[in-house]
Chain A
Amino acid sequence: MWRASNMLMSKTSRNARFVREFACHEEAIRAYVRRLAPSRSDADDILQEVAMVLWEKFDEFQEEGNFRSWAFGFARYKVLSWLRDHGRRRLVLDSDVVALIADESNEEDRHLEQQRHAFRSCFAKLPSDQRSLLANAYHPDMKIQEVAATSGRTTAGFYQWLYRMRQMLLECVQRQLASEANL
């Protein structure tokens, strides 16, 4: 009886620890997977698999270790094996290129995180109608043709608008980080 309740306790605390770690690093892991996966919906699918593996392997994770780099290792492996399985039927980047990007991603993680952080305020500064349009464009269940139509643009015109917005946001992020560096 004592052992049973003790085991239950330790299982609950393992769950709680995992949820805590995963919640704190989820955004970074998601971004890492996105950088390697060919599309947003593929990235979502791969992330599910990564989360599952992390959960299964969590007992091997050292308490004092760096959860993020531990998770990146599994994510890299998962993406590469996903590309191997799906690559023949899909148009994807070559595995050696993805592996290169993955490895350099590790080194740049801090910088990329700062960029995502800076992105938040750039995004918040956009007029609300532009934010809404972006939200629709990124909505997995929305057809881009319909979103384009509601914005009064042709589909091709809407893609160009989307590209310009992303480029502009990226420049805003870079400007902001450069100005913070000069403080």
Chain B
Amino acid sequence: MSNEARFRQNVQDYLEGRATPEQVLQMNQELRSDLDSRRAFREMLNLDSALMEATKEMMHETAEVTAELSEESAPQVQFEPTPEKVSASSPDGGNNHHWVSLLFLIAASLMILAGSLVWFAKSPEFAIVEYAAGAQSLSTGMTIGTESHFIQAGTVQLVTTRGTRIAIEAPALFSFESAQRLQLKHGRLAADVPQEAHGFTVITPTGQAIDLGTKFGVDMPEAGEAEIHVFEGEVVAQSTDGGNLSNLRNSQAFRLQSAAGTPSSFRSGAFIQPGEVDSLSAALQAGQPKRSQWALQELRDDPQLIALFDFETEQKQPGKYRCVQGRWPGSQAAEFVNVGDHMKLDVGGERLWPQLTLAAWVRLDHLGEPYHSLLHTDGWDDTKKGQVHWMVTRLTTMRLALRDNKLAPSDRPNEGFPDSQTSVLPEQGRWVHLATVYDSDKKTVRFYFNGKFDSESKLSQAHPARLGPAQIGNWNTLDRTLSGRIDEMLILGRAMSDAEMEHLFAAGNPYR
């Protein structure tokens, strides 16, 4: 036996408590004098510790499943202490996890003795698919164990055996290590963690998020760093490279970069939440994508159509934005996240448009300062009367401003521009259909939310609309990033009626 092989055998025997005095003597000498032996020793013992953890968790999961299966024989164990209970406990509160593990082991061993080893041979089940909206490889009712899953399109909602609800949006690659540990290689998820599942952890290539009682989201792009967003409660974020822990609370976000992390802007609407997936799924089953396609085809045949961006074509519009999933499984939308993100377009030419309809499916992340551009023609030039700026204001209303137009005197408080009456706030974090209809002859601006007429602003001076070079999601003069996604953007050279608008919304609605 070579020296190296003998050393390995000694370490393995030592691990099992079988080493003889002679072997320990040899190990002492070798470890004292040789750096590489010490490294090999540390790595093997480190692995032993990891094996201890993993097998303990396995016992834990199996004990739970068995406890559920045979209620009468299962000891009633409080699985995880709640933070309140822990924080109010006696000074050995830190050992709580330990005692809980110990109780599990006792429970598990009792059951082993009573029921042989049969259930270890069964592959573990950590979660069940509650809804699968357009995800081909997963279907409702399917159970999930340790295998990896790739979803290319759609959204799935899972419930773990501990009751954590997780919505995962494609494209995503993930696998469970246990019901409490989910590896997310890439993709986006939102988790709603009940008290029983505190400590639920999402592990990404650049760091992990440990729940302390929350609703939170993790965005892991295929290349880049994971972002943790806390909707409610508290989460601990930790970079893989051992960076410091960061405690995140309500409406905070954090980017897990190598070694350290940095605060990031909060984007609630970037995540499809548990609870949203069922209505997305119902709409798919009702055949909504087909209806939407027909409605788009009708619009493409409209002689007054100026532009219709559905982001499905292979040729990407110029600009700086991400391509993410749209309203339908596998469809595309543009996502604007960082300051300066935008999409360029140049439509409508030099022509003046007495009537104009603008409509878009939008998913807003956060609102407030500054303005959020839906469509802004470049500049704000007094020689270009009628140039169009369509946005969500810092007061969260919708606005359609045309250069040199004037609002008729009215009782409604406003900032001198035609603004919607309703705020887009309640729809934040879901897909919403925003639209406005401009008529320079009638001197009116009409606003629509989700196909429903909201309000009309009257003008005393109304120029025909002027388009040309413009940006979707920003303005070329000052930052007006729209934080969120835009799916379809319609620019039509005529005024749509209320009935048409209702039809447009109903045909394209991704929810049921």
A128:B121 contact, CB within 8 angstroms: yes
Query: What chain A residues lie within 8 Å of B236 (beta carbons)?
Result: 20, 24
Q: Would A15 and B87 count as touching, CB distance under 8 A?
A: yes
Nearest chain A residue, comparing its CB with the CB of B30: A97
Report whether A162 and B121 are in contact in the complex, using a CB–CB cutoff of 8 Å: no
Query: Nearest Cβ in chain A — how far from B33, in angstroms?
Result: 10
Query: Quick one: closest A residue to B123, CB to CB?
Result: A128
Contact of A119 among B47, B108, B123, B242 (CB under 8 A): B47
B residues with a Cβ closer than 8 A to A are 8-9, 12, 14-19, 21, 24, 27-28, 31-32, 38-39, 41-56, 58-59, 83, 86-89, 91-98, 105, 108-109, 112, 117, 120-124, 145-146, 175, 177, 181, 183, 199, 203, 210, 212, 236, 238, 240-242, 244-245, 247
28 A–B pairs (Cβ distance < 8 Å), ordered by A: A16-B83, A16-B87, A19-B96, A22-B94, A23-B210, A24-B236, A30-B49, A34-B49, A34-B52, A38-B17, A40-B48, A47-B98, A51-B98, A52-B95, A55-B93, A93-B28, A100-B38, A101-B31, A104-B38, A114-B241, A116-B50, A116-B53, A119-B50, A123-B51, A128-B122, A150-B117, A166-B48, A166-B51
The residue that A48 contacts in the complex, of B17, B31, B95, with Cβ under 8 A, is: B95
Query: Which residues of A103-153 have CB atoms within 8 Å of chain B's CB atoms?
Result: 104-105, 108-110, 112-117, 119-121, 123-124, 128-129, 131-142, 144, 150
What residue of chain B has the Cβ atom nearest to residue A112's Cβ?
A: B46
- Asked if residues A19 and B59 are in contact (CB atoms below 8 Å), the reply is no
Q: Is the CB of B58 within 8 A of A93?
A: no
A139-B59 in contact given A18-B94, A101-B42 (Cβ < 8 Å): yes
- Chain A residues within an 8 Å CB radius of B14: 38
Q: Known contacts A54-B94, A115-B46, A170-B47: does B120 contact A139 (CB below 8 Å)?
A: no
B-contacting residues, A4-36, CB 8 Å: 12-13, 15-16, 18-24, 26-27, 30-31, 34-35
Return chain B residues, CB-CB under 8 Å to A43: 49
User: What are the 8 A-B residue pairs with the smallest beta carbon separation, nearest first?
Assistant: A132-B120, A34-B49, A31-B49, A15-B87, A135-B55, A138-B55, A16-B87, A119-B50
How far does the Cβ of B127 sit from chain A's closest Cβ, in whole Å? Answer: 14
**Chain A's nearest CB lies how many Å from the CB of B236?**
6
Residue contact A35 to B45, C-beta cutoff 8 Å: yes
Q: Which of B32, B38, B48, B183 contacts A120 (CB 8 A)?
A: B183
Report Cα–Cα, A114/B52, bound state, in Å: 16
> Known pairs A100-B31, A105-B42. 13 more at Cβ < 8 A?
A30-B53, A35-B46, A40-B48, A47-B98, A55-B92, A55-B94, A97-B31, A97-B32, A138-B51, A138-B52, A139-B108, A142-B109, A166-B12
Cβ-based interface call for A85 (8 A)? no
Tell me how far the C-beta of B175 lies from the nearest C-beta in chain A, rounded to whole angstroms. Answer: 7
A108–B177 CA distance with the chains assembled, in angstroms: 25
Residues from chain A with a CB closer than 8 A to the CB of B183 are: 120-121
Taking the closest CB of chain A, its distance from the CB of B462, in whole angstroms, is 58
A181 contacts the other chain (Cβ, under 8 Å)?
no
Q: Hey, which chain B residues are within 8 Å of A129, CB to CB?
A: 120-121
Is A170 a contact partner of B19 (Cβ separation < 8 A)? Answer: no
Report the minimum CB–CB distance from B174 to chain A (whole Å). Answer: 12
- Does B12 lie within 8 Å of A116, measured CB to CB? no
Tell me which residues across on chain B come within 8 A of A139, comparing CB atoms: 55, 59, 105, 108-109, 112
Taking the complex as formed, is A159 at the interface, i.e. its CB lies under 8 A from any CB of chain B?
yes
| Residues of chain A with a CB closer than 8 A to B123's CB | 128
| B17 and A39 contacting across the interface, CB-CB below 8 Å | yes
Bound Cα distance from A182 to B351, whole angstroms? 55
Nearest residue, chain B, Cβ from A54? B94
Determine the distance from Cα of A85 to Cα of B183 in the docked complex, in whole angstroms. Answer: 42
Closest residue of A by beta carbon distance from B106:
A141
Known A39-B17, A97-B31, A120-B54; judge A91-B24 contact (CB<8 A). Answer: yes
Distance from B76 Cβ to chain A, minimum over Cβ atoms (Å) = 20
A83 shortest CB reach to chain B, Å: 12
Q: Do B105 and A15 touch (CB < 8 A)?
A: no
Instruction: Name the B residues within 8 Å of A100 (CB-CB).
Output: 31-32, 38
Report if A117-B240 is in contact (Cβ < 8 Å); known contacts: A16-B87, A18-B94, A51-B94. yes
